[in-house]
Amino acid sequence: MTQPKLDRRHFLRLGAAATAGLTTAVAFTPKNAMASSKADKKIITRKLGNTGIELPVVSMGVMRADNPNILKASYQLGIKHFDTAHGYQGGRNEEMVGEFFKDKPRDSIIISTKIHPESGGISTDKFMEMLDISLKRLKMDYVDILYLHAASNKEYMLDPRYLTALKKAKAEGKAKHIGVTTHSNMTEVINTAVDSKVYEVVLTSYNFRLAKDEELHKALKRANEAGLGIVAMKNMAGGFLDKEKQKPVNCKAALKWALSNPDIHTCIPGYTTYEMLMENWSVVSDINLDAKEMGDLQLASNEVGLYCHGCESCTGQCPQHLPIPDLMRSYMYNYGYSYPAKAYETVAALSLPENPCANCDECTVTCPNGLNVGERVADIARIRNIPGEFLV
């Protein structure tokens, strides 16, 4: 009456069909998935540095999920690693993970969680209290990976309070391995993790928009060679190419791109539907980008989307000495984040002339990431003409 018909045998066949290359062009139904192939393809696994853990290259970021049946489907397909955090959904995310896995063999899964000290800093004891709360929610005696959450600089990563807590967690058997997560200033964080000789795993943002970041790639290679485990997140780079959100990123291609780097050991895409699960899982035995996928990502890379990278290469290029980085940031506030008040505030503070580009026939500022600077300056400068009380 109430149990899903798709039992383990069906799920394994679904998994097989998925790894046979079920494309997103085919409407996803269990029947299509089961009908498309009978042959299993080999699941690609990679060692997570020197941790002794070997994982399929596709794992699960649980943070957006609120439906335990998604966990169930993922587990039955063969996903081993599930990533959550103390702060996700006020603790309910860890509770959902704990409730689902409470009767599963503990050694059949790799669970990670993260502790994020508040902005003013917390003591070692407080860190350990938060970890104990997490373990209670997870209904587990230990996590496989305990992360210091959201690092962006060396000082935070090497704060003795947190290093002491992480080491204590490991010594007491509450964490098998310790790591650090980062989504900004990743190169410094990764290099610091290597140099510290304390961190064993790094969880980092990594996607095709970072293709040209040579320093980041050097850091990843260095970390891999030093034996750190490297887990990648934010592989879809926001999910859309345009401000109108009409051009979705080819997510399967984006995942393959991330995994094409052998220094990445597994990815943790965050998904909330069975369709997304199957699309992600289809990559687990085939990470080779085909011509169309390569084309989609090349287009994406060229299209750049909305994001000024903040590299400030444009500084000093404008013959009128316009503050280009500030104007690009204002453009992003308005169109990228629908925050016109902030865009207005930014432009208003710049004391621009009435028509800032009047003295130039064409814009000679060159953006290394291909942004059309002249067009954006002309566009965003007009925001000064909108009465401030209409902007929020």
Residue 121 within binding range of other proteins, rule CB under 8 A: no
Q: How many residues bind other proteins (CB under 8 A)?
A: 57
Residue 124 within binding range of other proteins, rule CB under 8 A: no
Instruction: Look up residue 208 and give its amino acid.
Output: F
Residue 270 within binding range of other proteins, rule CB under 8 A: yes
Residue among 232 and 289 whose Cβ is closer to other proteins: 232
For residues 119 and 234, what is the distance between their CA atoms, to the nearest angstrom? 23
Of 340, 334, 329, which Cα lies nearest the Cα of 392?
Answer: 340
Residue among 148 and 289 whose Cβ is closer to other proteins: 148
**Residues 117, 120, 123, 126: is their CA dihedral positive or negative?**
negative
Residue 331 within binding range of other proteins, rule CB under 8 A: no
- The answer to whether 334 and 374 have CB atoms below 8 angstroms apart is no
Contact string 210-239 vs other proteins (x = CB under 8 A) = -----------------------x------
Scan for tokens 């390569």, then name that residue: 294
> Could you say which of 24, 89, 191, 298 contacts other proteins (CB under 8 A)?
89
Residue 120 within binding range of other proteins, rule CB under 8 A: yes
Judged by CB under 8 A, the stretch of 161-169, 288-296, 320-328, 377-385 that binds other proteins is 377-385
Residue among 1 and 171 whose Cβ is closer to other proteins: 1
For residues 17 and 32, what is the distance between their CA atoms, to the nearest angstrom? 8
Residue 206 within binding range of other proteins, rule CB under 8 A: no
CB of 118 to other proteins, least distance (A): 8
Residue among 197 and 390 whose Cβ is closer to other proteins: 390
Kind plus residue range of the DSSP H or E element containing 34: helix 30-36
Residue among 30 and 286 whose Cβ is closer to other proteins: 30
For residues 5 and 72, what is the distance between their CA atoms, to the nearest angstrom? 13
Residue among 6 and 360 whose Cβ is closer to other proteins: 6
Residue 27 within binding range of other proteins, rule CB under 8 A: yes
Residue among 94 and 289 whose Cβ is closer to other proteins: 94
What is the C-alpha end-to-end distance of the chain, expressed in Å? 51
Residue 73 within binding range of other proteins, rule CB under 8 A: yes
Task: Phi first, then psi: give them for residue 37, nearest 5 degrees.
Answer: -165, 150
| 11-19 contacts, C-beta under 8 A, 24 or more apart | 11/73, 11/76, 11/77, 12/76, 13/38, 14/77, 14/278, 15/40, 15/77, 15/78, 15/281, 16/40, 16/41, 18/77, 18/278, 18/281, 18/282, 18/284, 19/43, 19/281, 19/282, 19/284, 19/285, 19/286
Residue 172 within binding range of other proteins, rule CB under 8 A: no
Pull the structure tokens for residue 166.
């992480």
Residues found in the chain: 392
Site residues (CB under 8 A) for other proteins? 1-6, 10, 27-31, 63-64, 66-67, 69-70, 73, 85, 87-92, 116, 119-120, 149-150, 181, 183, 233, 270, 272-275, 332-334, 336-342, 382-383, 385-386, 389-392
